[in-house]
Amino acid sequence: MMKRILGCVALCGLMAGSLLAHHSLAGVYDMKAEKEVSGTVTKVQFVNPHGSLSINVKNADGTDTEWVFTLGSATALAQRGVGKTGPNALHTGDAVTIKCIPAKNGSPLGFLKSVKYADGHEVMVSGGNPND
């Protein structure tokens, strides 16, 4: 009987840890909206569980706004050919146009859907799924 109780406690602990590791995009992002912004890459982080891409966007009044985009995992990006090297590499200084799911609160934050590079080619990075 004691083995069963300990087994249940261990299983519940593992399930709780795994539930905490997953989160909903809908809590932060407006899943019914899509936004497009263009700017210059200032920072790229290919890390797990989610990377990030920051770009400077010129506003109509001449000021800059830094946008930060959440990326999928480094593994998922690599599967789509997006990384530090190759034809879909992202580097500081690159001009890009981003399609994203924007933040609900209007802040310059989004979940990256696609990147259009200066040469015109576009890479679909995510369909809006946190596992993309």
Does 44 fall in a domain? yes
pLDDT in the model for residue 4: 52
Rg over alpha carbons for the chain, rounded to the nearest Å, is 18
Does 116 fall in a domain? yes
Q: Which residues pair with 101 in a beta bridge?
A: 111
Domain of 29 in residue numbering reads as: 25-124
Average pLDDT, the chain: 81
Cβ contact 76:132 at 8 Å: yes
Does 19 fall in a domain? no
Number of domains in the chain: 1
Does 45 fall in a domain? yes
pLDDT in the model for residue 72: 80
Cβ contact 71:52 at 8 Å: yes
Which domain CATH number covers 39? 2.40.50.140
Task: Identify the weakest region by mean pLDDT among 7-16, 50-59, 75-84, 120-129.
Answer: 7-16
Does 13 fall in a domain? no
Cβ contact 113:30 at 8 Å: no
Whole-model pTM? 0.76
